[in-house]
Amino acid sequence: MMRFETLPESRSLLLFSKEGKKTSRGETVGFIKVHPFKTEGRQFTVKPTSQTNLKEVNVDEYVRNLISSLSQTFEPMGIKLDTAEADLSEFM
């Protein structure tokens, strides 16, 4: 029995196995955060990288995580991160 560290890992692996691909202990299966979707009555917010296209990527989630991480890093140094009007789409 495989042990998963997080729910996204287990959900991603479930979709990965539906492609008929097998994994072994210690193998890394990458996943990407995507916009929520349902399959077989379950809601998913991640997909294996091999099954994801660019339009499905939840960019807002990645931006929120980046802003949170940077804020936690900069605040102890007295640096305030200005996130007003932050829109990643202008860089795409």
Please write the tens of the pLDDT for every residue from 8-40.
666 777 776 777 777 777 777 778 899 998 888
Does 1 score more than 50 pLDDT? no
* pTM, rounded to two decimals: 0.66
Please write the tens of the pLDDT for every residue from 58-90.
999 998 899 899 999 999 999 888 776 556 555
Task: Say what the pLDDT of residue 91 is.
Answer: 54
In 3-state terms, what secondary structure has residue 37? strand
Instruction: Let me know: does 45 contact 58? Beta carbons within 8 Å.
Output: yes
**Domain spans of the chain, in order of start:** 7-84
